[in-house]
């Protein structure tokens, strides 16, 4: 059963903490993406990776970091430098040839 | 910079009605356009993908059209059902680049009432 798995579904962060959101795909897609969704706004791109060991900043990369050590995995770390991290985070992947994007079920991050 | 707009922001229709959701984009240099459905608190589900060379795509009761020159796409839902209630998002992929870097609209929240 192919797809994208995000974990955890809910995550709570204390002030000053770093937290890591997991994203795993078994679709054999080269490209992976992290988006942030806030109420009333469209999805905004945080980081993306087109190949293992390479990634690029999106439109709102400040306060976030990523790694791409394996094709299947693209974890996102929300650092203490991100001043307003409360949001819904979505991971996506796509086949570079067809470029149809598939999404995970999201992680809701809340600062407590 | 590409901007994507979806109108209306919210729509309520009675069950059985046919309806049209609109998506407009400012830069016609797109690779494709994709329509998604999002249920509350969930991820996005891909509904239809239209390549820039295509005019429309159909899947069941859904039909999406693309007019690249005017920067518009519509999603037509026939014989709406309460289960169609969700937020519908459109997204465009740029012409340049080997993988899609999507720009999203803010969505249309659809409610189908009994």
Per-residue pLDDT of chain A (112 residues; tens, 9 = 90+): 669 999 999 999 888 899 999 999 999 999 999 999 998 788 999 999 989 999 999 999 999 999 999 999 999 999 998 989 999 999 999 987 667 899 999 999 998 8
For residue A12, how far is the Cα from the chain centroid? 16
What residues pair up with B49 in beta bridges, in sequence order?
A: B34
Residues of chain B found within 8 Å of residue A103, distances taken between Cβ atoms? 36, 43-46
Instruction: Give the residue carrying structure tokens 């709406």.
Output: B80
pLDDT in the model for residue B38: 97
Higher pLDDT, B93 or B75: B75
Within 10 angstroms of residue A39's Cβ, the number of other Cβ atoms is 7
Residue B58, pLDDT > 80, answer yes
Give the closest of B34, B91, B99 to A50, CB-based: B99
Residue B98, pLDDT > 60, answer no
Confidence of residue B100 (pLDDT cuts 50, 70, 90): low
Give the closest of A90, A101, A104 to B100, CB-based: A101
* pLDDT tens digits along B59-79: 999 999 999 999 999 999 999
pLDDT in the model for residue B56: 96
The 3-state secondary structure of A8-56, one letter per residue: CCEEEECCCCCEEEEEEECCCCCEEEEEEECCCCCCEEEEEEEECCEEE
Helices (H), B1-114: none
Residue B41's Cβ-count burial label (10 Å; 0-12, 13-18, 19+) is exposed
B83 in contact with A at a CB cutoff of 8 Å?
no
Interchain contact, B89 vs A102, CB within 8 Å: no
Separation of alpha carbons B2 and A27, rounded Å: 28
Interchain contact, A43 vs B91, CB within 8 Å: yes
Instruction: Report phi then psi at B26, rounded to 5.
Output: -90, -30
Give the closest of A42, A90, A98 to B4, CB-based: A42
CA nearest to A70, candidates A16, A1, A22:
A22
pLDDT in the model for residue B48: 96
Residue B99, pLDDT > 80, answer no
Please give, rounded to a whole number of angstroms, the shortest distance from the CA of A99 to a CA of chain B: 5
């Amino acid at each position: 059963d192919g797809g994208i798995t995000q974990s955890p579904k809910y995550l709570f962060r204390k002030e000053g903490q770093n937290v890591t959101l997991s994203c795993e795909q078994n679709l054999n897609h080269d490209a992976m993406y992290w988006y942030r969704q806030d109420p009333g706004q469209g999805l905004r791109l945080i980081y993306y990776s087109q190949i293992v060991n390479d990634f690029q900043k999106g439109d709102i990369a400040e306060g976030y970091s990523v790694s791409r050590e394996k094709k299947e995995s693209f974890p996102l770390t929300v650092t203490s430098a991100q001043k307003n991290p409360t949001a819904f985070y979505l991971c996506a992947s796509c086949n570079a040839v067809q470029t149809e994007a598939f999404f995970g079920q999201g992680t809701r991050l809340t600062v407590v | 910079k590409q901007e994507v707009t979806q109108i209306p922001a919210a729509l309520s229709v009675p069950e059985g009605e046919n309806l049209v959701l609109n998506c407009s984009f400012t830069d016609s240099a797109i690779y494709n356009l994709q329509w998604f459905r999002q249920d509350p608190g969930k991820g996005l589900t891909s509904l239809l993908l239209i390549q820039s060379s295509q005019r429309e795509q159909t899947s069941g009761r859904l039909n999406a059209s693309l007019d690249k020159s005017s920067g518009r796409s519509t999603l037509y839902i026939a014989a709406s059902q309460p289960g169609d209630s969700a937020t519908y998002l459109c997204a465009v992929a740029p012409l340049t680049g080997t993988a899609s870097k999507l720009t999203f609209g803010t969505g249309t929240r659809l409610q189908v009432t009994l």
